[in-house]
Amino acid sequence: MIVSVNVVPNSKKFSLSVKDGMLRVHLKNPPENNRANLELVLALSKLTGKSVKIVSGHTSRRKKIAIDSNEKEWVLIMAKIEI
């Protein structure tokens, strides 16, 4: 499943939220040397328990990520985030 994500690097703490139907991820790491991207992939993999990879937007704040899950599983994950 392909998901659009808005990333905010260099945040004081890691957090997830949903804004305008899009997942927003605040990352602690800076974007230099791919550190923010690695944090994003590792955090979402840990949260979902699924394989995650960045499909597009490697150098952008707006990214498309592929998550090895179906739509029903993703709805449940998003519901946990919104609580």
pLDDT at 74: 76
Domains of the chain: residue spans and CATH: 2-82 (3.30.1200.10)
Q: 13-60 pLDDT, tens per residue?
A: 999 888 887 889 999 999 999 999 999 999 999 988 889 999 999 999
Residues 4-11: contacts with CB under 8 Å, at least 24 apart: 4/62, 4/63, 4/64, 5/40, 5/62, 5/63, 5/64, 5/65, 6/61, 6/62, 6/63, 7/36, 7/40, 7/61, 7/62, 7/63, 8/61, 9/36, 9/61, 10/36
